[in-house]
Structure 1
């Protein structure tokens, strides 16, 4: 049976599931960071460092006591691992087995990698790590003592490609990062002894993708669940139909749009949500990584302009979306001057729909204090403000 809810109720389901605003928690901050990672299912890794990198930024918004060494600790504790979600990501170790279908498909050639396969070089790389222990790509820039002469294709670029291929097909894992550089190690020397390594069936995999997405996002569509996952949409659609027939899913009409949800999550409609707290989000935050979804549910048209030529940018190089009053109401282009400990807000842009400007400014001022501290800044400079017509 199709249940109709308002757009505001749909947003409420999404924000409760996303942990926004973050709930107050006592106890160990590292444990809360692991809880947030498990609840989200993944956090995307990104290299842009205009402000604190996206994977840290995303968890900080769910755990105000998050520290940037938490992910390092979770990897060291074997409670999290790096792999591919819709993009490079940190994932909870409890979900490790669901990475095996992709790894196996790459290993047997069912799925193509973006790098060419070089079996000879891959075997040499694997042997070096087996014999020498964890290595980085830069360790392959000079000849190994294991070889009398340097293979002619033993350069950093092919070796890096071999490392990534071995990582993606499951022979290697990322043991740690040193100055953000990956340290590769044999999978059997990284995995905890109690992790489930049984490859799921395709049916179990589709069910996992569906339930994980809906738990983390409140509601969703088949194409959103399959986002940037090759060859999954048909299986996801078929499994959704099976779960609907079994009463495991609910169909929702949200202001004319068709979604699915887990029945238990509809209880969140009766749970109050804090509307006064303001969140400065990463462009890669789980809430808004699917831009079309955000446009439909939050009427927020967003483009990350760091990939746009400078003269064509409307809002700035690295514009951070701002969530307040359960809406995406603004964006601000930021860059940290780490030497001077200054947060530069090059352009603050308020959406045309924002009416409570004074209340918003008070909430932003309060949140900026925490955001500056998180970025190790002592002050900020606001260079320009625009209120869209």
Structure 2
């Protein structure tokens, strides 16, 4: 609802394709301008854009199959892997993705993997849509993005981290940004016993961190299945260092080489990763648990089993299933 109904969130590029708060839209003005300039280099694109905008304005959201533009053109995105300069792409798909990366269109909704686009001006307020870039320089934009990534992960270190993918920082630049954010009071260093490298969290999270450490926060342990692309797992080496938990998303691993399953999810219980689970919704409307692998030393207590059952019931509902079967 926050994404496609309330429009509090939006699908757009950041760390690859992402979902983020719509109020961050002005910060990505350079992305949209770069995309527009790139799109102008492709023959026919200007005419195609005008045709697509006119049709969507009159008829509402479309996907590449329902936009009445035929043929193929040479095109590729300036932001991600779509299209090619050496091979023609579907003209309808190319113009929709071009207008999307320029910010003229947003993803209105999805049907499976199929994206439906609509005019951004119909769903984003004029104040946000026309706001100026808040950053005065590229370095200021990079610092803002690093701060944002630290907040997303919760705790991050000054290392060559996949959590900082796409920002384009060399080691010295990254070091300077962490020092700058610390000096400005935006982040604070956090030392973890047994690890020499300092971590950093948002200064706004300091009180919460302190209350958790002294046990004054009423936080009951809960069991959660963590999505493979959740920000918490952007830096798997960080996860190994903090939790001694080794996780690999095996969706692209050949079946005969998988250690666990096609789509296993880390299982977090309280403050510990206790294992992995593969639970797949079936065409029969049942969530099928294909595998459950506990970490060594995990005791399957009544509380743990009850928490697992509760989470599986919730996960079944989330996936549109009536119930689950082990």
TM-score range, shorter chain: 0.7 to 0.9
Could you tell me whether the CA contact under 8 Å between 2:250 and 2:263 is conserved in 1?
yes
- Note the aligned Cα RMSD (angstroms): 3.0
Task: Output aligned runs, 1:73-84, within 5 Å.
Answer: 73-75=5-7, 79-84=8-13
The equivalent position to 1:258 in structure 2, one of 184, 189, 198, is 198
Secondary structure of 2:304 counterpart: helix
Q: CA deviation at 1:226?
A: 5.7
What is the match of residue 80 of structure 2? none
Moved more, 370-379 or 298-307: 370-379
What is the match of residue 285 of structure 1? 230
What is the match of residue 182 of structure 2? 244
Higher relative contact order (CA 8 A, sep 6+): 1
Distance in 1 (alpha carbons) for counterparts of 2:10 and 2:201 = 28
Equivalent pairs counted in the alignment come to 298
| Residue 342 in structure 1 maps to residue 265 in structure 2 | no
The equivalent position to 1:181 in structure 2, one of 106, 114, 126, is 114
Could you tell me whether the CA contact under 8 Å between 1:210 and 1:225 is conserved in 2?
no
* Bigger fraction of residues in strand: 2
| Residue 270 in structure 1 maps to residue 208 in structure 2 | no
The equivalent position to 1:127 in structure 2, one of 22, 46, 50, is 50
Secondary structure of 1:72 counterpart: coil
Change (3 A) 1:263 1:352: same
Q: TM-score, normalised by structure 1?
A: 0.67
Q: Which runs of 5+ in 2 are unaligned?
A: 76-87
Could you tell me whether the CA contact under 8 Å between 1:276 and 1:363 is conserved in 2?
no
Distance in 1 (alpha carbons) for counterparts of 2:12 and 2:204 = 29
Change (3 A) 1:246 1:332: closer
The equivalent position to 1:103 in structure 2, one of 21, 32, 42, is 32
Q: CA deviation at 1:70?
A: 4.5
Change (3 A) 1:152 1:217: closer
Could you tell me whether the CA contact under 8 Å between 1:137 and 1:156 is conserved in 2?
no
Task: Output aligned runs, 1:36-75, within 5 Å.
Answer: 69-75=1-7
Change (3 A) 1:225 1:243: farther
The equivalent position to 2:165 in structure 1, one of 218, 224, 228, is 228
Change (3 A) 1:374 1:356: same
Q: Which runs of 5+ in 1 are unaligned?
A: 1-68, 110-115, 144-149, 383-389
Q: TM-score, normalised by structure 2?
A: 0.79
Distance in 1 (alpha carbons) for counterparts of 2:120 and 2:37 = 18
Q: CA deviation at 1:139?
A: 3.2
Secondary structure of 1:73 counterpart: coil
Moved more, 189-198 or 312-321: 189-198
What is the match of residue 299 of structure 1? 244
What is the match of residue 84 of structure 2? none
Change (3 A) 1:297 1:337: same
